[in-house]
Structure 1
Amino acid sequence: MSAPGHRRPWLYDPSLGGVLVRSHRSPTAGAAGIVVSDVVWSDVLGVLRWADATLSCPPELRAGTAWRTAATAAGLLRRLPGLCREAGVDWPGAVPGATSPEAPATVRLRTAADRLALRLCSPEEGVAGPLSRAVGDLAGELDEVGAAAIAVLAEGADWTTG
């Protein structure tokens, strides 16, 4: 039995990933705005790669990839307030995600990653300037990916004492 293929093969194409990241640049942004935009969307691409790895890897690797998914999402969330300052945008905080905590962890992760991938593939996101449009929603989606990855990790843990 072979492992299922990746749902988003474009995630692993460096040239296409770069195009998606650069598509978020604002035409009126200066050098600092372009750098901030590229940093944010490059990190979003990394979060999506780890989420995809978590959803498609063999079970014995799932704990490690789920951990990396959560850590990568948390790392960007931790840096977002400073990146907003650099871009001259108010940091609104994360808007709570829309997925149900009662859903199975892998479904939560897939749903959250799908929303984040849709945002990455929507270049109009950066037209108003770096992080100008719905940074709270982006942060909420990153938070949900991280929370779902932790749920995947917890779901696979052996909770028996022995």
Structure 2
Amino acid sequence: MTDLIDTVRDEITAALAAADRDQVRALADTVLAARHVLVTGEGRSGFMAKAFAMRLMHLGINVHVVGETTTPALGPGDTIVAVSGSGTTHGTVRVAAQANTVGGTVHAVTTDPDSPLARAAATVLVVPAATKYRKPGEATTVQPLSSLFDQTTHILLDVVCLLIAQRRGVDNAAAKAAHANTE
């Protein structure tokens, strides 16, 4: 019997090995240059976006989650990081289109560089992983639905945060000081 932990680890390792390092750095550059960063996504992609927002907050980035009551208006100088495995999720694509109409910059995180989301974006981080659609060219996986995309996205966005932390001189103690203390 194959060890599923080893199988999943190997799938994630293969997806990460295929990730474009320049695209990861470009997302870090985009976030650092933004006046405000807003994140969006639906379902598990939305959870990955929210995890990214939380870590950015720990690093001192002015970040908000689209749809939350405290999210400010988007405008020039602001960036939307939109996460959708397929790049076709209606709500996420709609937010990206709206961001473009008000002068924001869209950065897509998706598996499909030719998707509607990617076409609406100024820059794209292509996550070389499988989605629930199992399109030709996607990585193979034993995992259901978009698990491999979600896992790989989480790690790649954490690497973006690590690059930001290094550039801003934010160590663990500084990030911990920004962590919620009302729990």
* Structure 1 length-normalised TM: 0.28
- Larger RCO of the pair (alpha carbons < 8 Å, separation 6+): 1
Give 1 or 2: higher strand fraction: 2
* Structure 2 length-normalised TM: 0.25
